[in-house]
Amino acid sequence: MNWKVISAIVVLLVVAGFVWFVVDRSANSDYNEPVSEQDLEPSMSPKVGQVKETLAVESEEDYQEEADKAPAPPKQIDGSDRQVREAAGELSPTVADWLVPQHQVRKWVAMIDQMAGFRLPNKNLPVQYPKEPFLVIKTEKGIANDPGNYRRWDPLVSAVTALNPKKVAIYYKKWSPFLESSYNELGNPQSFDNQLRATIEHLLIVEPIPVDTELRRPKVFYEYADPVLENADPLSKWMWRLGPENMKKLQDWLKRLESYL
């Protein structure tokens, strides 16, 4: 299997997968929201979303040449798990180790659907990203996040930001009908394209917080002592856990990707 086939098969992982990797919850982490009973249900909205007909990347001189080289996506979603796992394994054994075996594409589109509404799934997850336990330090104010926690995300953020955003956009364009068809199974009036863009836009507007922000631990999980921060949406809170440097690297990459979309 050549690199173009691999790239095409994992385009969904490239575009959507990084979002889950960023916000993946660890079973060993004490710094997390309690698990809710909410399943991967579609977030209904009265406004019907539209798929963007033309992407900015299509104006690139080599777009048609590169698009012609890209293989077509699978004709149907059923039976595609093996292809995804094999392709991911050839691209990166580490990524392959993170994948949950079954219903990969369905899990990705359902995940993005929830994230577009600033919600986070905790069941039927497409990947499992292992991390070291969350640590805290004592400060004059009380307790705070140990800056060493940010290093848990370094390999992930480096891997994502090393991807060529232009190539991602080219493959996304070619695979868009397949992703929309898979997303339509949810019965949502929005489009996958709309939900993906909404997720990216939200991640881009998140601003960093001080690394010594005070925490408290009323029960099992750590919380922000500042109620404004604690009441922030889950996507923003998990972006903060990357640390300011990793968050900036990821946002810079997302800006480049967005410029091609």
State yes or no: pLDDT of 132 exceeds 50.
yes
Look up residue 66 and give its two tokens: 């590169």
So what's the pLDDT on residue 129?
72
Q: Taking residues 101-125, what's their average pLDDT?
A: 80
Q: What is the 3-state secondary structure (H, E, C) of 20-45?
A: HHHHCCCCCCCCCCCCCCCCCCCCCC
What proportion of the chain, given as a percentage, has pLDDT over 70? 73
Packing angle of the helix pair 104-116, 81-91 (nearest 10 deg): 80
So what's the pLDDT on residue 93?
64
So what's the pLDDT on residue 62?
94
Give the range among 86-95, 96-105, 233-242 with minimum mean pLDDT. 86-95
State yes or no: pLDDT of 2 exceeds 80.
no
So what's the pLDDT on residue 6?
41
So what's the pLDDT on residue 131?
79
How far apart (Å, rounded) are the C-alpha atoms in residues 210 and 226?
Answer: 12
Amino acid making up residue 234: P
Q: Taking residues 193-215, what's their average pLDDT?
A: 94
State yes or no: pLDDT of 31 exceeds 80.
no
pTM, rounded to two decimals: 0.77
State yes or no: pLDDT of 106 exceeds 70.
yes
CB 30 within 8 A of CB 222: yes
State yes or no: pLDDT of 228 exceeds 90.
yes
So what's the pLDDT on residue 98?
66
State yes or no: pLDDT of 105 exceeds 60.
yes
So what's the pLDDT on residue 44?
41
> Considering only CA atoms, which of 40, 28, 208, 35 is closest in space to residue 129?
28
So what's the pLDDT on residue 19?
44
State yes or no: pLDDT of 248 exceeds 60.
yes
